[in-house]
Amino acid sequence: MKLTIKTMQRLRILVILILLSLMPLYSLAVLNEGQYAFRSLDINNGLSQNTVHAILQDKQGFMWFGTKDGLDRYDGISFRTFMKESGTLGNNFITSLYEDNLGQIWIGTDVGLYVYCPQMEKVRHFTLISNSNIDIDCTVNLITGDQKGGIWVVTQTRGIFYYNPQVDVSVFDQSGCASPHNLYIEKGGIVTPERFCEILAEAFPKTEAQIPKPFISPEQISAVHSSRGVYDFKGRVWGSDTMSWTVLYSEDNELCKPVYSRVLMVHPVDHINDALVHVQDYIQTIGIAALEDKAIDFANKATMAGVARCPLIGRMLNFEMPWDGLFLIDRLVRWNTLGGPLC
């Protein structure tokens, strides 16, 4: 077929007509792609207050709304509200929200800092004092974290605070009576036991900058090197080249002897009660992070076996009264009775 000038002109007109006929469809497709459906959430849907200062979506998919009068968690259908009046929150004026590597929600308010533990489904007041003897009792403007797992808190009148959750292991270089050495983590959680080890390994160098490592003796270096060799064979090892910190992981459920020098041994378990077989009366402190019912059940059984303290993990070295099961004032007071036994 020979293409004449007239034939080519007709073909060109046909192509143009086809393109023009497709353009409305193409434009419609683009328009549909750019359309979004919005709906309002307010006090009529269950939001505690219409003024929202902070919004966060956590690792589980929940939406968190920090309002002027309460903290709300939204699952896509309904709200769960945390408020001071119900005993689930320390203060209602929420200013900022942040989720850390472990899935904890850090809550800034106009009078201080709070932390929501997803395992226990409870909010606790963050009361630690800084190395300058200053606490966070004012408006929190911003909460964020770094790649090492540290938490940064910017306040309105108290300055900037830095907190590293690995302090339990680093304070006193694990020589304290409440320093952790063995950690038992349930399988099947949001953070796997091995991932938890990776988070620890990311956080330890930052902790070392905050709490410098003291001199390590040749004997201590030898002990750390030996423990790493064992776990290289039966599990996994994370650690610094200078032997200043070590995380050891193995699948066995055992209670390993302390190595000290910031060496933490991690063991996966099906249930935290699987660790109770190791509890004896010489163990003073066991840190717990679990749902309330599970934590109470574990604590009841552990204290019956002789354990004195079951604080939250991260607060193992913050001592309270009674100390080792005793009130110190008992040693300064002489108790007398009048009238004999009551029965």
Of the candidates 83, 108, 85, the residue with the CA atom closest to the CA atom of residue 97:
108
Query: Which DSSP symbol is given to 77?
Result: S
Tens digit of each residue's pLDDT (9 = 90 or more) over 198-232:
988 888 887 776 677 777 788 888 999 999 999 99
Tens digit of each residue's pLDDT (9 = 90 or more) over 255-289:
988 888 889 999 999 999 999 999 988 888 898 88
- What is the longest distance spanned by two Cα atoms in the chain? 128
Of the candidates 328, 329, 286, the residue with the CA atom closest to the CA atom of residue 304:
286
Instruction: Say what the alpha-carbon torsion angle 100, 103, 109, 112 is, to the nearest 10 degrees.
Output: -70
Tens digit of each residue's pLDDT (9 = 90 or more) over 63-113:
999 999 999 999 989 999 998 888 878 889 999 999 987 788 999 999 999
How sure is the predictor about 179, in pLDDT bands with cuts at 50, 70 and 90? confident
pLDDT at 114: 92
Residue type, 276: L
Tens digit of each residue's pLDDT (9 = 90 or more) over 18-76:
444 544 444 444 445 556 677 888 998 889 999 999 999 998 899 999 999 999 999 98
Checking if the pLDDT of 315 tops 80, the result is no
pLDDT at 10: 57
> Which of 151-160, 246-255, 319-328 shows the lowest mean pLDDT across its residues?
319-328
- pTM value is 0.55
Q: What's the per-residue H, E or C state across 13-35?
A: HHHHHHHHHHHHHHHHHHHHHCC
Residues forming beta bridges with residue 269, ordered by sequence position: 186
Distances (CA, A) of 15 to 18, 64, 79: 5, 54, 56
178 or 217, greater pLDDT: 217
pLDDT at 62: 93
**Residues 107, 83 contacting (CB under 8 angstroms):** no
